[in-house]
């Protein structure tokens, strides 16, 4: 960099310095940091910037943030709904219009977070906290905001507000059942279990035992048969009383256990549990807004036949490589049968969740045509 270029950069920064009256200290630090990059020799590794560091973009972002208007932000809600470190006015840090910031909220056990709402503070009546549904029913929500979508259990959300008017954020909650976990677990892909797997549902607060029953919109269990590749086929059939005992609620009324009956579900099947909206809280008669559904697979035969694969010969290692799709089912051993009926072991290599690869070593190119079938043994969870 020559002397003229360094003068241009210093002039640009000095010009901005005198315009940024609201944040002088922040700019002085940035100015000093830039001077180090301009004048320190390039051989100094201690002050070398990362390869993806764009100093001009960083300056632009800092200038834009410093020039943005401060936002008068309030986080408010009835105390029984839950807790937030940012509750009150001005507790979310230095919030600027048009820039993202975080707010955290954790609902009380008897409540579920439905959504975040944003209102212009001046429109809220003084007594709205006494009955939010009644007082806020006809007050318009702000639309020039970006609000996070979070689960019923709350957490940290990222917000952006594009108005200079004082704003109140409300974590809108309802007193209704909230499932905190299940066994088998929710939100797992192709979980494998044995036939005798019992079902357990954990709630954040007590529920009404009279609603924890096998019935439509209460608790339903269905089954579908799996094909050779582990994919469910056909329409689901109800198996509540066919393979399971009636639901049992614990003494704290926060856990439902459903045990496998005398006859267990068959191998190669997918089990689906639906906790419906008629399962209600013990504190009131409220049910969940939407049902909770989770599934798992029973693969107790310990192996799956592979009916599709692509094979090719690797000359450098004198081996045959096979690649196939098995929809997330992870083998721990793979073997193939040749035309003469001999079982040939293969070394398994995982590629992705649903694409697999196995290698047969020390073979000749012509043997690739002799493979007639394959089988993958799987890990089964108890």
Which mean pLDDT values do the consecutive 10-residue runs of the chain (382 residues) have?
42 42 48 51 49 71 86 96 96 94 94 94 94 92 92 92 96 92 76 80 94 96 84 92 95 95 87 96 88 83 58 74 65 63 70 70 63 57 42
pLDDT at 29: 47
Same domain for 285 and 310: no
Same domain for 125 and 137: yes
Please tell me the distance from the alpha carbon of residue 196 to that of residue 263, in angstroms, as a whole number: 9
pLDDT at 217: 96
Same domain for 184 and 121: no
Same domain for 246 and 199: yes
Same domain for 243 and 208: yes
Same domain for 215 and 274: yes
Same domain for 319 and 276: no
Q: What is the pTM of this model?
A: 0.59
pLDDT at 366: 59
Cα-based distances in Å from 220 to 99, 246, 260, 273: 46, 11, 14, 6
CATH number for the domain that contains residue 288: 2.60.40.1220
pLDDT at 124: 96
Q: Which two tokens stand for residue 118?
A: 């944003």
C-alpha Rg value of the chain to the nearest Å? 31
Structurally, the chain folds into a number of domains equal to 4
Same domain for 184 and 161: no
Last residue of a domain, one of 254, 274, 298: 298
Same domain for 291 and 189: yes
Last residue of a domain, one of 122, 153, 175: 175
Last residue of a domain, one of 175, 190, 216: 175
pLDDT at 336: 64
Same domain for 289 and 189: yes
Sequence-distant contacts of 230-234: CB under 8 A, at least 24 apart: 230/190, 230/297, 230/299, 230/304, 230/326, 230/327, 230/328, 230/329, 231/327, 232/270
**Letter string b/e over residues 27-53, b meaning 16 or more CB atoms within 10 A of that residue's CB:** beebeeebeeeeeeeeeeeeeeeeeee
Same domain for 152 and 52: no
pLDDT at 371: 62
Same domain for 288 and 202: yes
Nearest residue to 194 via CA among 28, 382, 364, 10? 382
Q: Residue 346: which domain range?
A: 303-378
């Amino acid at each position: 960099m020559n002397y003229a270029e360094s003068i241009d950069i210093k002039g640009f920064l000095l010009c901005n310095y005198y315009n940024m009256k609201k944040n002088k200290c922040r700019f002085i630090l940035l100015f000093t940091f830039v001077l180090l990059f301009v004048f320190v020799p390039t051989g100094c590794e201690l002050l070398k910037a990362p390869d993806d560091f764009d100093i001009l973009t960083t300056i632009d972002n800092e200038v834009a943030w410093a020039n943005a208007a401060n936002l008068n932000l309030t986080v408010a809600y009835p105390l029984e709904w839950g807790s937030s470190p940012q509750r009150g006015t001005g507790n979310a840090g230095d919030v600027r219009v048009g820039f993202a910031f975080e707010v955290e909220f954790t609902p009380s056990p008897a409540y579920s977070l439905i959504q975040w709402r944003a209102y212009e503070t001046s429109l809220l009546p003084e007594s709205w906290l006494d009955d939010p549904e009644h007082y806020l029913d006809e007050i318009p929500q702000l639309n020039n905001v970006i609000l996070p979508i979070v689960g019923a259990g709350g957490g940290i959300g990222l917000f952006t507000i594009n108005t200079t008017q004082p704003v109140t954020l409300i974590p809108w909650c309802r007193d209704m059942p909230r499932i905190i976990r299940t066994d088998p677990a929710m939100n797992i892909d192709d979980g494998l279990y044995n036939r005798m797997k019992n079902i357990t549902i954990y709630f954040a607060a007590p529920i009404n035992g009279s609603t924890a029953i096998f019935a439509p919109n209460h608790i339903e269990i269905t089954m579908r048969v799996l094909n050779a590749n582990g994919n469910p086929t056909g329409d689901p059939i109800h198996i509540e009383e066919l393979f399971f005992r009636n639901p049992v609620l614990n003494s704290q009324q926060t856990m439902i256990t459903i045990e496998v009956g005398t006859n267990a579900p068959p191998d190669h099947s997918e089990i689906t549990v639906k906790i419906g909206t008629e399962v209600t809280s013990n504190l009131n008669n409220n049910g969940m807004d939407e049902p909770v559904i989770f599934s798992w697979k029973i693969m107790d035969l310990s192996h799956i036949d592979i009916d599709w694969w692509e094979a090719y010969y690797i000359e450098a290692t004198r081996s045959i490589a096979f690649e196939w799709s098995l929809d997330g089912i992870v083998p721990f051993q793979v073997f193939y049968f040749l035309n003469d009926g001999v079982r040939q072991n293969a070394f398994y290599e995982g590629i992705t969740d649903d694409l697999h690869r196995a290698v047969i070593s020390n073979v000749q190119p012509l043997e690739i045509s002799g493979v007639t079938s394959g089988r993958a043994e799987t890990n089964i969870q108890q």
